[in-house]
Amino acid sequence: MAPPVALDGFTQLAGRLLDVPVVCVSLVDADRRLVTSSYGLPAPTALLVSWSLMKQVVTSGRPLVVTDGRRHPLVARNPAVRDGTVTAYVGMPLVAQDGRAVGTLSVMDRKPRRWSAPQLGFLRKLSARIVGEMELEAAVRGSSWRSRPSRIWRRGPRTPPAGQGHLSPRA
């Protein structure tokens, strides 16, 4: 199955516009969780780093905005936060037309940062656009992605060129 080129473009765009090292789009269904597009980290690593954060977003169906995870009551004990891999995080739910969250658009940084209203607005619009792309792809294939999103969108990671977008080693 060919990778969804549009999703890679979205993750790269978010990474560059927000100047963050890691962006990923993840889907969840009853059987599995899947990173469908990843910028800055290979998909398996992005999933390990973001899973517990992503799970909170999908469960609540609401964005999770963290400026400094070390001081945030919901995520301070997260292993990725404790080891310094993720300090700032935004997770926007990918919401299907039936109102159910089927995944996330996750943006991560090693350093604390304040997320501006325009940045959060951009991520909200981008998450809606990603859902639109999934709807379009499903319509082209004649299938429904809402019941089993990971069946529609399977792909490998997209890592940026050397020196761009990677989390730097801890100092």
Give pLDDT, residue 143. 61
Give pLDDT, residue 141. 72
Segments making up each domain of the chain, as ranges: 5-152
Which of 14-18, 43-47, 50-54 shows the lowest mean pLDDT across its residues? 43-47
Compute the mean pLDDT over every residue in the chain, rounded to the nearest whole number. 80
More confident residue, 43 or 162: 43
Helices vs strands, H then E, count in the chain: 5, 5
Phi, psi of 29 (to 5 degrees): -135, -175
Averaged pLDDT, 106-118? 96
Counted residue by residue, the chain has a size of 171
Distances in whole angstroms, Cα of residue 158 to Cα of each of 36, 46, 68, 97, 163: 9, 11, 27, 28, 14
Token pair belonging to 72: 């945030």
Give pLDDT, residue 133. 85
Give pLDDT, residue 30. 65
CATH number given to 5-152: 3.30.450.40
More confident residue, 160 or 134: 134
